[in-house]
Structures are given as structure tokens and as C-alpha cells.
């Protein structure tokens, strides 16, 4: 080849083609989605913006590299066992992620998928009622105020990373927009307390787990007076010495709030539900571009 | 003798590359002008390589012994892993590739490197950027996007450093002699232009004016894929196109094939990237387009592979002697395997099993190590003696380096592929508990740690040998270091 100009043009054209095709055009197609509003009930919107704690928890999640082992997307039932494994009720759609930043889809499942890990958490009341499983900040704090309001819990609570004494309004935001349908009662009890224990000492919960413990997100401190309400209930070799307790830091609480906010169980019109029949939804697209739906049929 | 000093016409064996006196002087001058900058890139790259190897070791051991050093925040697995990946990508492979690219460019443009201080400054800034970025990951500022984990401020330093380094290319091209642009230069110019474009595009779309929702993932995967193919892959293939003909003293088999290979490589591989999210939350056409592109990469894989093979045909015995050739041909063959595996893994029927498993780790090591890094090692064995004016001291060390690296990466790839398939098929069987898939991978992860020991040995041997060269402790000899004693063959001068 002679001269630089044709070479340069060719190189640029190839780059531009790839950029347009895989980022610019898809961005025009699915880059400007709005939450879906239920035509029958205007208060039933999905998805909703995350609470402040969940948002901060997302950064704890990425900064500790959770996404290198856990994915956050469910594939359709005809191509995978994701739904049979009860990781979700339907496949994930672009609209599920419109408030997520950064989006951490992940491409490894050294641990299970987390798309719906918040869904199975029983509501705060039930887990508080369970003996021995008192979640962080269970005293008082009815979940109602935090729920689905956009002014989240930490608003009145400056992010004091270390040793913030448990205050009532610091309860991790309960799973938002948890559908009235079913927080599957027979499912695993993924309460905040469960998450904390699992994060602190994974093998105390699942003997075969190869997840690293995140002890640095927890604080060992001397019990002065009453033991903290959010101290971890540990047994075996993880038990702190007499007179000490293990309490989650603010980051740990945010991480758990984030995990508990992960929930894609709300139906979307563009996705055919995997288990529950939602036949009419398949054809009628949402207000925004129809192609937003990765139409399952189109994929063989 | 044509402008690129590479024989492009059919050879009368070896006669074509007999250099005249002026050519020898000219090359010596060019080599002298690139000495400091290229050695700086190489030295930094090797320091990063050692650091990355240590981290890789930790990452590998912690994967099956999760409690090892687990209580310190910056030593947790989820921070060490991205630190390892980014050190290898931006510290080792990018710096080594830029060093080789600069040297090749100067040689092929037949011009001395002007303003070496510029490049030295650029290299220093690049090192700073990597250092800041890795530090940020370790203290917990991972952005969450694979291969873009560095926070934007570190990315900015890298970008500025790169702009400084880039300016040499403009200068070099202005002063180039001869009209012909050799195939290696296409790959190099391509890589050196594509990288800043894709890096800027990704940074803009992720951090400056962030796109919404899953588009962030699409942009990140598009970037990671192009970084592999249009940056590392392009430089490695370009290097192979230079080193193989150079060492065996024969022109590239077919220049037409090389042209076809280049354009189809750029066109098709730049569209792959979303096949790894088969059935993900994206419009189906994006994934299908990526799979189609992945299948079409069979064209560049076959043309490039065939071209290298036909160039080598009849000269494979030279791999017994020349370190450069041995590493380069290994890398070129690994490209074929890597490409073929890439096609297989993109098919939906296979992807459903291997998505989310260690197969991805095997695939990226096959690409970044067996293909790219081995070719870069080969180019270093060729270039460093020309820069320091000494020959490699111990043939044994080179052989050890090669075999440890080759067996290491081979074992690692096999372990992770086999383990990944076992893991994936257990995961796709809903009657098995999820723990089964975790447990089934563990023996393979231990196997990988063994492979890691081999690779670490290879790197430390190489670093030691390179250090000897750097401190002027190489051999003073007029003949290069051969891996085995050469029985008179007549081609020694080019090894």
C-alpha cells in the first residue's frame, strides 16, 4: 500500500464501524429507558432508584471485587438452568439495570448468581422475630418509611465509617418494592443477620464455600454495658473472646443493604415470565423502544 | 534491497538479506537511538511482570485456600485479582508491546528515533499511571468494569502518557525513508491509533458522560475485547510478521494473504466481544452479531496462520537454535488455537455451558500469555542484544524460560478448560446443588497453582537474564546465542 491516507481511512472506518455497531446504536436503542409504570396502579413503578445505603453498598461490592465471582443476570429458561435453580423467576432485561451504576453484570459464577438475592430475604419483622437472628438495627424502625422513598436512611446519619453506634434509623433499607406476591417463605432465610454472618465467616454458613471472609468490614470491640443489637451471633472458632463483640461497620451495613436491594422479581412487560404465565405481555412493548426487549423468540 | 530491508520478493535463499556496509551502519545508528527508550519500556515491563506474577500466585492460591491472608482489606481476593490483571495488561504487556513497537517502527521507517526524551517522559508517566491505578484498586477504588478497573484519574495519566508516546510515531513517519509500508507497520499503526480511540471512547462513555444501565457493560466488554485484539493482538501479529521472516531469512510467503488477513482481522475481531454475554440482558441482535463476527474470524485465523506456516515451511528445524524464532512461532501457533477456541466458545450451544466458568480465564490466558506474551518474549530476545551490544549469556536459561513458560501456560489452559467444562455442566444441571460446581473446580484450581509455579520460575529466570544484559554482563561475541550448538548451516547470521 502506498501512502498513509488510505491506510488511515481504513483503520478509522473499521474502528468507527465497530464503535457504532456495538455501542452507539445499542445506546440509542436501550440507553434511555424509563421505569415501567403499572397502568392500573400509578404507584407501582419498577425499577426504583436505590436507597443511599444501597448505592454506597454497590461501591463496597465493586471495590472488593464481588463481581469477579458473582453474576447479576438471569438467562432465559430455554438456554440455562438459572430459573430452575430458583435464582430468579424470569430472565433479566435492560430495564432492570437503569439505575445501577456501575452495572456489575459479572461473567463468573464461582458463587451463585445474585440478581434476586434480596427477594428471598424475609421482611424485617419476621427475621427480628426469629430467635437468635436479630438483624442490624431491628429495634423499632418499621420498614415503611424507608421503603420506596427516595430519601434513604443515611440522610440523617453522616457516613461515619467506623464504630457508628447502632441508631434506629440506620436499618438497612428493606428490600424495596418487594412484591406483595411472595417472598417465598420456604426459601433460605437471607436476612441481614444471615448476610453479615456469611460475609464475616462464610464457612460457618456453608462448609464448602470458597468465598473469602470479609472480616475487615467488621469490627471487634469491647462490650461496654449492653451488647450491641447488631452484634453478630457467631459460634465455633469465630466466636469473639469473652467481653468482646463483632459488629458490622457502616460499609458492611451498606453492602448488606445493597445485597438486599437486589430484586428482579417484579414483572416487566417486555419479558415473558419464566414460570408464571404472562402471555399477553410478550407482544405488547413498553412505551420505550420495543426492541429493548431481548425478544426470546428471536434468539432461536 | 527494498526500503523495509525485508525481502518481499522471492528469495534466492539468503542472498536477499546480505546487508551492505552502509546498511549495517545505518541499523546500528537506529538501534543506538532507540536504546534508552526501548530499554526503559522493557525494564519497566519486566518489573511489572514480576510483580504481576507474585499477585497471580496469591490469587491462584487464595482461590482454593480462601482464608489465606484474608483479613487485610487490600489483600482480599477481589482486590488482588484486578490488581494482577491490570498490572499484566497495562504494566507488562502494554509496556513490552510499546517497546517492541517503537523499535520495529524505527527499523522499518529506516529512521533514527528523534526526541527520545519525549518517549522516556511518556514511559515514566505511563508507569506512574499504572502505579496510581493499581494502588487505587488495592485501597478499594475499583470502578467495577473489567480491564477498566483503574479510576478515571489514573486513566487520565495513562492517556496523557500515551499521547506523549504517540507523538514519536508522527515524527517517525514524517522522516521515514522509502515508500513501501511493510505489513508489520500496518499492524503497528493500527494498534497505535486504535488504542487511544477505544480508550477515550470507553472512558467517555463510562465515566465522563456515563451511559445508562447495561450499556455500561456493553461498552466495557466492547473495550476489553478490542484491547485484546486491536491493541495486543495487532502488535503481536505485526511482530510475528517481522520476526519470522527476519530470522529465517525468507520473505513472507504471500503478501496478498497478509493484506487479506490484516483487514479481515481488524474488521471481524473488533465486532466480537458480546458473545460472552450470550442470552444476557441485551438486544439479541448485538449478541448474534458478535457471534457471527466470531465465526467470521476463521478467515484471518486461517490466512494469518497459513501465511506464517508457509513462510516457515522447510525451516522449522531452525527453532532448535533461535530463541526468537522458538518463542515467536509458539506465539503464532497459539494465536491459531486461541482463535479457534474463541469461535467454539462463542457458539450458543457451547457458551451456555462455559459462560460463568473458568473457561474464560483459560481463554484470556491463552490470548494474553500463550499468544501475545510469548511473541513479546521472542522479540525481546531479538532486540535486547542489539540495544546493549552484548549477546545473551546462557542458552540454558533461555531454554528453561521457554519450557517453563510453555508447559506452564499449557498446563494452566488445560486445567482451566477441563475444570471449566466440568464446572459448567454441573452448574447447568439443576438437580445438582451449586456447591457441586464449586467443589468440582477445586482440584483444577490446585493444578493451576502448580502451573503458576512454573510460569513464575520462567519469569524470574528471564528477569535475571535480562538484568545481566542490562548491566553489561552479556557475552561479547559476534554470533548470537543459540539454544543448541549449530551444525554448519549457513543461516547463523540471521538467527
CA distance A19 to B215: 13
Is B254 in CB contact (< 8 Å) with chain A?
no
Q: Cell digits for A227?
A: 451488647
CA distances from A41 to A38, A263, B154 (A): 5, 20, 47
Range of A131-145, A166-180, A285-299, B303-317 with top mean pLDDT: B303-317
Q: Which of B380, B388, B381 is nearest to B32 (CA)?
A: B388
Contacts of A201 (CB under 8 A, 6+ apart): A213, A215, A234, A238
CA distances from B441 to A69, A83, B313, B420, B421 (A): 13, 23, 40, 7, 9
Residues of B in contact with A4 (CB under 8 A): 173, 181, 189
Which one of B185, B196, B212 makes the best mutation probe of the A interface by having the most chain A beta carbons within 10 Å? Answer: B212
3-state secondary structure chain B: CCCCCCCCCCCCCCHHHCCCHHHHHHHHHHHHHHHHHHHHHHHHHHHHHHHHHHHHHHHHHHHHCCCCCCCCHHHCHHHHHHHHHHHHHHHHHHHHHHHHHHHHHHHHHCCCCCCHHHHHHHHHHHHHHHHHHHHHHHCCCCCCCCCCCCCHHHHHHHHHHHHHHHHHHHHHHHCCCCCCCCHHHHHHHHHHHHHHHHHHHHHHHHHHCCCCCCHHHHHHHHHHHHHHHHHHHHHHHHHHHHHHHHHHCCCCCCHHHHHHHHHHHHHHHCCCCCHHHCCCCCCHHHHHHHHHHHHHCHHHHHHHHHHHHHHHCCCHHHHHCCHHHHHHHHHHHHHHHHHHHHHHHHCHHHHHHHCECCHHHHHHHHHHHHHHHHHHHHHHHHHHHHHHCCECCCHHHHHHHHHHHHHHHHHHHHHHHHHHHHHHHHHCCCCCCHHHHHHHHHHHHHHHHHHHHHHHHHHHHHHHHHHHHHCCCCECCCCCCCCCCCCCCCCHHHC
Q: According to the model, what pLDDT value does residue A293 have?
A: 41
Backbone angles phi, psi at B267, to 5 degrees: -65, -50
A244-294: pLDDT as tens digits: 999 999 999 999 999 999 988 888 888 876 544 433 333 333 444 433 444
CA distance A54 to B348: 34
CA distance A120 to chain B (A): 17
CA distance B264 to B268: 6
pTM of the model: 0.85
CA distance A276 to A279: 9
B461-482: pLDDT as tens digits: 999 999 999 998 888 877 888 8
**With contact defined as beta carbons under 8 Å apart, do B289 and B324 qualify?**
no
Q: Which of A130, A298, A1, A288 is nearest to B183 (CA)?
A: A1
Q: According to the model, what pLDDT value does residue A140 have?
A: 36
CA distance A13 to chain B (A): 9
- Taking residues B321-348, report their average pLDDT: 94
For residue A157, name the pLDDT band (cuts at 50, 70, 90).
very low
Pairwise CB contact (< 8 Å): B283 & A104 = no
pLDDT score of B452 more than 60: yes
**With contact defined as beta carbons under 8 Å apart, do B466 and B219 qualify?**
no
Residues of A in contact with B210 (CB under 8 A): 101
CA distance A116 to chain B (A): 15
CA distance B235 to B187: 6
Q: Cell digits for B146?
A: 473489567
CA distance A195 to chain B (A): 18
- Taking residues A64-87, report their average pLDDT: 89
Q: How many CB atoms lie within 10 A of CB A9?
A: 10
The strand pairing partners of A45, in sequence order, are: A37
Residues of B in contact with A299 (CB under 8 A): 279, 284, 287-288, 348
Name which residue leads in pLDDT, B335 or A79: B335
CA distance A251 to chain B (A): 12
CA distance B457 to A294: 48
CA distance B7 to B14: 9
CA distance B104 to B255: 19
Query: The cell 437468635 sits on which residue?
Result: A132
Arithmetic mean of pLDDT over chain B:
89
Displacement of CA B61 from its chain's centroid (Å): 24
What ipTM goes with this model? 0.89
Domain ranges of chain B: 20-180
CA distance B102 to B189: 11
Residues of B in contact with A103 (CB under 8 A): 144, 213-214, 216-217
Backbone angles phi, psi at B268, to 5 degrees: -80, -45
Return contacts of B129-132, CB within 8 angstroms, 24+ apart: B129/B90, B129/B154, B129/B155, B129/B157, B129/B158, B129/B161, B130/B48, B130/B86, B130/B87, B130/B90, B130/B91, B130/B154, B130/B158, B132/B157
CA distance A210 to chain B (A): 6
Residues of B in contact with A209 (CB under 8 A): 66, 435, 438
Pairwise CB contact (< 8 Å): B78 & A66 = yes
For the ranges A103-112, A185-194, B261-270, B323-332, the lowest mean pLDDT is seen at: A185-194
Is B239 in CB contact (< 8 Å) with chain A?
no
The strand pairing partners of A244, in sequence order, are: A222
B137-151: pLDDT as tens digits: 999 999 999 999 999
Pairwise CB contact (< 8 Å): B181 & A4 = yes
Q: Provide the b/e sequence for B143-167 (b: ≥16 CB within 10 Å).
A: bbbbbbbbbeebbebbbebbebbbe
Residues of B in contact with A108 (CB under 8 A): 356-358, 360
- Asked whether the CA dihedral B279, B280, B283, B287 is positive or negative, the reply is negative
CA distance B135 to B141: 9
Query: The cell 443515611 sits on which residue?
Result: A154
Q: According to the model, what pLDDT value does residue A206 have?
A: 85
Residues of B in contact with A84 (CB under 8 A): 430
Is B14 in CB contact (< 8 Å) with chain A?
no
Pairwise CB contact (< 8 Å): B181 & A19 = no
Pairwise CB contact (< 8 Å): B427 & A209 = no
B154-199: pLDDT as tens digits: 999 999 999 999 877 777 877 888 777 889 999 999 999 999 999 9
Q: Provide the b/e sequence for B80-101 (b: ≥16 CB within 10 Å).
A: bbbbbbbbbbbbbbbbbbbbbb
Amino acid at each position: 500500500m502506498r501512502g498513509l491516507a488510505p491506510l488511515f481511512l481504513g483503520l478509522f472506518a473499521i474502528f468507527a464501524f465497530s464503535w457504532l455497531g456495538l455501542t452507539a446504536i445499542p445506546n440509542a436503542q436501550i440507553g434511555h429507558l424509563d421505569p415501567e409504570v403499572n397502568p392500573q396502579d400509578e404507584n407501582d413503578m419498577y425499577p426504583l432508584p436505590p436507597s443511599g445505603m444501597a448505592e454506597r453498598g454497590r461501591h463496597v461490592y465493586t471495590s472488593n471485587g464481588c463481581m469477579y465471582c458473582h453474576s447479576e443476570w438471569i438467562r432465559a429458561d430455554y438456554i440455562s438452568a438459572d430459573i430452575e435453580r430458583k435464582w430468579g423467576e424470569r430472565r433479566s432485561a435492560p430495564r432492570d439495570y437503569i439505575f445501577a451504576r456501575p452495572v456489575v453484570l459479572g461473567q463468573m459464577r464461582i458463587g451463585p448468581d445474585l440478581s434476586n438475592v434480596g427477594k428471598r430475604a424475609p421482611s424485617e419483622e419476621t427475621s427480628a422475630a426469629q430467635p437468635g437472628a436479630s438483624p442490624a438495627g431491628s429495634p423499632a424502625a418499621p420498614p415503611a418509611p424507608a421503603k420506596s422513598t427516595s430519601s434513604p436512611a443515611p440522610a440523617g446519619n453522616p457516613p461515619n465509617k467506623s464504630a457508628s453506634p447502632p441508631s434506629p434509623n440506620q436499618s438497612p433499607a428493606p428490600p424495596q418494592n418487594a412484591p406483595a406476591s411472595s417472598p417465598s417463605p420456604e426459601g433460605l432465610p437471607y436476612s441481614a443477620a444471615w448476610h453479615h454472618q456469611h460475609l464475616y465467616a462464610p464457612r460457618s454458613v456453608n462448609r464448602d464455600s470458597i468465598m473469602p471472609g470479609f472480616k475487615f468490614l467488621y469490627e471487634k470491640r469491647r462490650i461496654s454495658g449492653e451488647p450491641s443489637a447488631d452484634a453478630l451471633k457467631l459460634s465455633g472458632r469465630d466466636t469473639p473472646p469473652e467481653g468482646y463483640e463483632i459488629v458490622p461497620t457502616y460499609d458492611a451495613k451498606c453492602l448488606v443493604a445493597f445485597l438486599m436491594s437486589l430484586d428482579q422479581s417484579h414483572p416487566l412487560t417486555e419479558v415473558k415470565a419464566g414460570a408464571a404465565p404472562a402471555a399477553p405481555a410478550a407482544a405488547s412493548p413498553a412505551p420505550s423502544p420495543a426492541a429493548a426487549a431481548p425478544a426470546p423468540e428471536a434468539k432461536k | 534491497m527494498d526500503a523495509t530491508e525485508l525481502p518481499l520478493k522471492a528469495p534466492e535463499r539468503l542472498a536477499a538479506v546480505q546487508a551492505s556496509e552502509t546498511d549495517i551502519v545505518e541499523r546500528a545508528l537506529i538501534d543506538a537511538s532507540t536504546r534508552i527508550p526501548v530499554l526503559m519500556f522493557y525494564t519497566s515491563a519486566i518489573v511489572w511482570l514480576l510483580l504481576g506474577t507474585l499477585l497471580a500466585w496469591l490469587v491462584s492460591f487464595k482461590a482454593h485456600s480462601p482464608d489465606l491472608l484474608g483479613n487485610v482489606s487490600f489483600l482480599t481476593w477481589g482486590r488482588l485479582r484486578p490488581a494482577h490483571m491490570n498490572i499484566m495488561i497495562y504494566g507488562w504487556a502494554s509496556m513490552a508491546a510499546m517497546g517492541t513497537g517503537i523499535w520495529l517502527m524505527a527499523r522499518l521507517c529506516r529512521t533514527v528515533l528523534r526526541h527520545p526524551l519525549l518517549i522516556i517522559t511518556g514511559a515514566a508517566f505511563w508507569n506512574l499511571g499504572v502505579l496510581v491505578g493499581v494502588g487505587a484498586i488495592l485501597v478499594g477504588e475499583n470502578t467495577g468494569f473489567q480491564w477498566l478497573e483503574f479510576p478515571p484519574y489514573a486513566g487520565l495519566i495513562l492517556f496523557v502518557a500515551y499521547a506523549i508516546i504517540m507523538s514519536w510515531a508522527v515524527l517517525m513517519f514524517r522522516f521515514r525513508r522509502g515508500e513501501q509500508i511493510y505489513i508489520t507497520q500496518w499492524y503497528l499503526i493500527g494498534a497505535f491509533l486504535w488504542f487511544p480511540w477505544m480508550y477515550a471512547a470507553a472512558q467517555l462513555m463510562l465515566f465522563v458522560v456515563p451511559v445508562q444501565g447495561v450499556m455500561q457493560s456493553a461498552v466495557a466488554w466492547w473495550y476489553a475485547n478490542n484491547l485484546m485484539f486491536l491493541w495486543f493482538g495487532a502488535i503481536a501479529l505485526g511482530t510475528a510478521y517481522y520476526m519470522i521472516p527476519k530470522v529465517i531469512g525468507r520473505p513472507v510467503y504471500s503478501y496478498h494473504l497478509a493484506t487479506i488477513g490484516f483487514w479481515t482481522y481488524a474488521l471481524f475481531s473488533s465486532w466480537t466481544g458480546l458473545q460472552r454475554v450470550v442470552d444476557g440482558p441485551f438486544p439479541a441482535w448485538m449478541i448474534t452479531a458478535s457471534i457471527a463476527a466470531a465465526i467470521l474470524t476463521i478467515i484471518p485465523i486461517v490466512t494469518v496462520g497459513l501465511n506464517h506456516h508457509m513462510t516457515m515451511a522447510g525451516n522449522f528445524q531452525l527453532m532448535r537454535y533461535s530463541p526468537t524464532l522458538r518463542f515467536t512461532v509458539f506465539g503464532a501457533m497459539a494465536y491459531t488455537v486461541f482463535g479457534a477456541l474463541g469461535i467454539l466458545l462463542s457458539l450458543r450451544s457451547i457458551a451456555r455451558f462455559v459462560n460463568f466458568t473458568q473457561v474464560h480465564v483459560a481463554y484470556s490466558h491463552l490470548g494474553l500469555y500463550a499468544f501475545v506474551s510469548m511473541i513479546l518474549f521472542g522479540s525481546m530476545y531479538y532486540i535486547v542484544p542489539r540495544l546493549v551490544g552484548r549477546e545473551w549469556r546462557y542458552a540454558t536459561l533461555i531454554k528453561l524460560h521457554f519450557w517453563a513458560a510453555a508447559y506452564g501456560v499449557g498446563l494452566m489452559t488445560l486445567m482451566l478448560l477441563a475444570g471449566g467444562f466440568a464446572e459448567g455442566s454441573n452448574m447447568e444441571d439443576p438437580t445438582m446443588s451449586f456447591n457441586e460446581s464449586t467443589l468440582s473446580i477445586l482440584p483444577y484450581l490446585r493444578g493451576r497453582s502448580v502451573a503458576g509455579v512454573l510460569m513464575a520460575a520462567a519469569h524470574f529466570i528471564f528477569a535475571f537474564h535480562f538484568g545481566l544484559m542490562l548491566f553489561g554482563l552479556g557475552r561479547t561475541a559476534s554470533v548470537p546465542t543459540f539454544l543448541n550448538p549449530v551444525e554448519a548451516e549457513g543461516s547463523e547470521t540471521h538467527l
